[in-house]
């Protein structure tokens, strides 16, 4: 392209001129300042962000521990009371029900015993009360099968120590997924059963989630089998939910993070969740086979970066003042035709289409816009004039149609009145004939032949009158039907 042509494009283009002057000035001012500042600021923030995320994870662990510990204390107190009365099943049942009555956060309590513990009980014997639709009900089984081989009972008995069970697909109480805290029951030093309480994963998630430090941060706890025990999305509180999430995030980096977390490792990673970059910090939970993690948006945990925002704000403010002072006269002059055009557009908005927009002599986009606006205004004015003419024609046609319709309605009214009059005229002859017929029927034996003939002649004359009236009515009705068709 020839240099003269390039120069012509730059001089005739409003956007090119404005971009050229602003671009050169802003680029020189901000390039040196922000390049240096962001380099050192980013490095400092990266170093501290991981430490802050780990602190949040430690607080999350403490919150979970305190929440579960409260239930452990309740369970141990009830366990001690029950062990004192193991020789009386009715007392055991009373204490089991008492725990459920007084602890609304617990949704199920069970005391299960080894077969033969009580001679009068054959086979499996479990005292189990749980909540169901706001009521406390008693059940003989849990999850529709014998408790003998269920993990909460079997694992507790084998380990001979308290045990938190993992959630299972069919382990639900009152429609909610649960985990159980179980403690072995001992009689004379021998394990004879297991005492357990059930807590809802929904309740546990709400209790922990209500104490998170920020609405954008969230944490979860997962078993080694990929079942979430705590997660803000309660639809994921089901077995193997973490593996299902791997289908939602098929990236290798996410899968690698999941397997490290479930493998009991401790670490952190920077993961992209649907375009949002977040720090994920994870570690095992206590001496269990569970793992906890915290997902922190990158913007949230980079708190020290906010201190740099103040410095950046000062620099930006000074730069903006400089740009405004430099560009005021130039931009003000360049935008003057647009202000004229704006005033014309406001007059058109108020319905003043007769105001004239002067043609512009400029060759850039502003001049082209002004001339196009003027042409558009003339076109709108012409179009509105045509609409007014057509509207006047339509009004005249509507007026003629209304007059014709009035004539038709008047003719219809006259015909209806005529038919009504004919009908009224027929009433008297008909009544007269009816009267004569009744008289003749009642007194024909007493009447002379001449009287009967005279009455017959009268009825014949009256019938002819009725016939003439009917012919006229039929004639008018026929004309009316022809007019409608």
DSSP output for 2-60: -HHHHHHHHHH-HHHHHHHHHHHHHHHHHHHHHHHHHHHHHHHHHHHHHHHHHHHHHHH
Every domain of the chain with CATH number 3.30.450.20 lies at: 67-204
- Residues forming beta bridges with residue 199, ordered by sequence position: 106, 179
CATH topology for 402-484? Answer: Helix Hairpins (1.10.287)
Whether the pLDDT of residue 4 is over 70: the answer is: no
What element of type H or E holds 282?
strand 276-284
What's the pLDDT score for residue 65?
94
What's the pLDDT score for residue 7?
60
3-state secondary structure of 145: strand
Q: How confident is the model at residue 5 (pLDDT cuts 50, 70, 90)?
A: low
Each residue's pLDDT tens digit, 204-261: 999 999 888 778 888 999 999 889 999 998 888 888 888 888 888 877 788 888 889 9
Every domain of the chain with CATH number 1.10.287.130 lies at: 402-484
What's the pLDDT score for residue 355?
63
Please give the C-alpha separations between residue 294 and each of 50, 270, 377, in angstroms, as whole numbers.
11, 12, 62
In CATH, what number does 67-204 get?
Answer: 3.30.450.20
- Mean pLDDT taken over the chain: 80
3-state secondary structure of 217: coil
Q: How far apart are CA 286 and CA 296, in angstroms?
A: 22
Locus of tokens 């009816």: 434
Please compute the mean of the pLDDT values over residues 426-438 and round it to a whole number. Answer: 72
């Amino acid at each position: 392209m020839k240099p003269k042509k390039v120069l012509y494009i730059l001089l005739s283009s409003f956007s090119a001129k404005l971009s050229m002057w602003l671009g050169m000035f802003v680029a020189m001012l901000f390039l040196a300042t922000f390049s240096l500042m962001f380099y050192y600021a980013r490095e400092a923030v990266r170093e501290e962000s991981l430490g802050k995320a780990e602190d949040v994870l430690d607080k999350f662990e403490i919150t979970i521990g305190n929440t579960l510990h409260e239930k452990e204390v309740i369970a141990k107190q009830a366990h001690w009371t029950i062990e004192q009365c193991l020789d009386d099943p009715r007392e055991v049942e009373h204490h089991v029900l008492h725990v459920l009555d007084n602890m609304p956060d617990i949704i199920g309590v069970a005391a299960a015993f080894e077969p033969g513990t009580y001679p009068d009980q054959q086979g499996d014997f479990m005292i189990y009360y749980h909540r169901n639709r706001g009521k406390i009900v008693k059940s003989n089984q849990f999850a529709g099968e014998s408790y003998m081989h269920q993990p909460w009972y079997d694992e507790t008995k084998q380990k001979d120590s308290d045990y938190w069970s993992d959630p299972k697909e069919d382990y639900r109480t009152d429609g909610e997924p649960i985990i159980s805290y179980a403690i072995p029951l001992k009689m004379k030093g021998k394990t004879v059963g297991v005492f357990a309480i059930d807590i809802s994963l929904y309740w546990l998630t709400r209790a922990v989630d209500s104490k998170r430090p920020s609405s954008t941060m969230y944490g979860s706890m997962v078993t080694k089998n990929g079942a979430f025990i705590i997660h803000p999305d309660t639809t994921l509180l089901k077995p193997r939910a973490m593996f299902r999430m791997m289908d939602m995030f098929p990236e290798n980096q996410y899968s690698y993070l999941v397997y490290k977390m479930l493998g009991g490792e401790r670490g952190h990673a920077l993961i992209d969740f649907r375009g949002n970059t977040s720090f994920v910090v994870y570690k095992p939970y206590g001496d269990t086979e569970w793992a906890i993690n915290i997902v922190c948006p990158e913007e949230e945990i980079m708190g020290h970066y906010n201190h740099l925002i103040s410095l950046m704000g000062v620099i930006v403010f000074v730069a903006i003042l400089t740009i405004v002072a430099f560009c005021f006269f130039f931009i003000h002059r360049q935008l003057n035709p647009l202000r004229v055009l704006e005033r014309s557009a406001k007059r058109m908005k108020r319905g003043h289409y007769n105001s004239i927009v002067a043609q512009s002599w400029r060759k850039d986009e502003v001049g082209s816009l002004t001339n196009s606006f003027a042409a558009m205004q003339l076109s709108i004015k012409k179009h509105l004039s045509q609409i007014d003419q057509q509207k006047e024609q339509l009004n005249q046609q509507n007026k003629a149609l209304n007059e014709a319709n009035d004539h038709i309605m008047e003719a219809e009214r006259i015909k209806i009145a005529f038919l009504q009059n004919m009908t009224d005229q027929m009433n008297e002859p008909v009544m007269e004939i009816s009267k004569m017929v009744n008289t003749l029927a009642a007194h024909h034996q007493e009447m002379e032949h001449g009287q009967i003939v005279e009455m017959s002649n009268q009825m014949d004359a009256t019938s002819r009158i009725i016939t003439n009236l009917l012919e006229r009515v039929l004639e008018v009705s026929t004309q009316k039907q022809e007019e409608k068709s």
